[in-house]
Amino acid sequence: MKIKNYINGAYQKPLSNDWLDNYDPSVGEVYGQIPNSNSHDVEEATAFAKAAFPAWSSTTLEERSRILLKIAEGIEAQLEKLAEAESRDNGKPISLATTVDIPRAASNFRFFANAITQFASESHESTGTNTINFTLRKPIGVVGCISPWNLPLYLFTWKIAPAIAAGNCIIAKPSEVTPMTAYLLGEICTNAGLPAGVLNIVHGLGNTTGKAILEHPDIKAISFTGGTKTGEHIARTCAPMFKKLSLELGGKNPNLIFADCNYEEMLSTTLRSSFANQGQICLCGSRIFVERSIYAKFKRDFISRVEELVVAHPAQENANLGALVSKSHLEKVEDYIKHAEDYGGKILSGGKRVNVDGYEKGYYLQPTVIEVSNNHCRLNQEEIFGPIVTIMPFDKDDEALRLANGTKYGLSATVWTQNLDRAMRLGNTLEAGIVWINTWMNRDLRTPFGGVKASGVGREGGFEALRFFTEAKNVCIKYN
């Protein structure tokens, strides 16, 4: 099947007629083609977006909200179809796509449909000088949204929904590895009554389509989620044009387990935070640190639970892990396994490819637990983004904090303890944009989301996203 670009409300082929293969990772075979759009496609899409902007930015909030709700309903009405497409494109278990990814895409639209109607701005009255200042929140114009492959529709809509709600027009590029659900979204938006040109979806590679988006002078802001290296490149490219940037980047998140935790809950959540979506979630807790007094017990119990996990074809209902997203990603992850000893670790469990009957060419890997003896090793410093976690003991709170903060990343951190003082202390001092205490991936859409250090710049989520997708303009009036 051939996926097309969605430009000015209609599907069309890439102007160059240049196509890329799209793989089904569960079978390791090509099942479709996508455009490799170039600067001419982006140019055309941007011209339509620019033309649509004056009308869209002056629609009432109620009208925008109504359309966003319709898009949410459109996604919900096609839940099964979208979940199947997501699972096939990405390799994630269908159960995950059905219960998490696609419902969340609908929630993104529903949330911002409401949030935009509550988005208030400030005013400041200065009595001595008889002035009043008030802030207008103006849509930016045409904005670029670039998203990764791990949570395809979930993250794509996490950007698009607030951008549209705030009155912008969009040039959006999903990952070339998982284009399918973004493609299907185009039609849902048309059916929901989104005016042509407000959302334009161009498919293709980072260094062709992505590059054209970054370099287009009429695209005034870029919201990017993806790898830290790509984020660096985007920051360098956009800085001379003074584009507004939101960068949601990689992570190497610590999971701190104290002896006083609620053990059973910690164990089952840690299993999930380690291997959900084959460990390919930026928020996965890939470095597990355990208080020494329970380290041996944890190691035994955790490994026994890990070895019960089912790696299977993603369409199989009981699959805990499906396939990794691509051959090149599988090989990258496997490299850490092959060199585990050189990279500072000892494999305790897993570490092998899985031969799934009937799908021998699929990209399946066992969930893998590696014990490390220090935090400086490559296994603990580099983002692997696959079904690999490291474990290591610690003795004191201060040491746990030092280990947790001891990477260049700072996206999220998880703490397991019943001690409120410790929880508060760590909540305050962990270098991360998000700290979870006694839970993981518990997301309230009103809360700010993003990382510190090499995990990103800026925040999205809730009103933060609406702030990003608008420019604040202060108006000062003097009266007599």
The residue ranges that bind ligand NAD (CB under 6 A) are: 146-150, 155, 173, 175-176, 205-207, 210-211, 214, 225-227, 230, 233, 248-251, 282, 383, 385, 411, 451, 456
Helix (H) or strand (E) holding 84: helix 79-90
- Residue 225 CB, nearest distance to ligand NAD (Å)? 5
Distance CA 153, CA 449 (A): 17
- Residue 179 CB, nearest distance to ligand NAD (Å)? 9
242 CB-near residues (< 8 Å, 6+ apart): none
| Cβ distance to ligand NAD smaller for residue 87 or 225 | 225
| Cβ distance to ligand NAD smaller for residue 141 or 456 | 456
- Residue 339 CB, nearest distance to ligand NAD (Å)? 20
| Cβ distance to ligand NAD smaller for residue 282 or 312 | 282
DSSP code at position 377 = S
319 CB-near residues (< 8 Å, 6+ apart): 93, 94, 95, 310, 311, 312, 313
- Entry field: residues in the chain: 480
- Residue 354 CB, nearest distance to ligand NAD (Å)? 22
User: CA torsion 150→36→224→138, rounded to 10°?
Assistant: -130
Instruction: Give exposure, 343-379, as e/b (b: 16+ Cβ within 10 Å).
Output: bbbebbbbbebbebeebeebbbbbbbbbbbeebebeb
- Residue 276 CB, nearest distance to ligand NAD (Å)? 13
Instruction: Give exposure, 33-65, as e/b (b: 16+ Cβ within 10 Å).
Output: bbbbbbbebbebbbbbbeebbeebbeeeeeebb
| Cβ distance to ligand NAD smaller for residue 85 or 145 | 145
| Cβ distance to ligand NAD smaller for residue 236 or 338 | 236
| Cβ distance to ligand NAD smaller for residue 208 or 320 | 208
Tokens coding 280: 């390919």
- Residue 247 CB, nearest distance to ligand NAD (Å)? 8
| Cβ distance to ligand NAD smaller for residue 305 or 378 | 378
Region for residue 370 given its phi and psi (left: phi exceeds 0; alpha: psi -120 to 50; beta: otherwise): beta
Q: What are phi and psi of 296, to 5 degrees?
A: -65, -45
Q: Which residues are catalytic?
A: 248, 282
480: exposed, middle or buried (Cβ count in 10 Å: 0-12, 13-18, 19+): exposed
3-state secondary structure 159-179: HHHHHHHCCCEEEEECCCCCC
DSSP 21-78: EEEETTTTEEEEEEE---HHHHHHHHHHHHHHHHHHHTS-HHHHHHHHHHHHHHHHHT
- Residue 188 CB, nearest distance to ligand NAD (Å)? 20
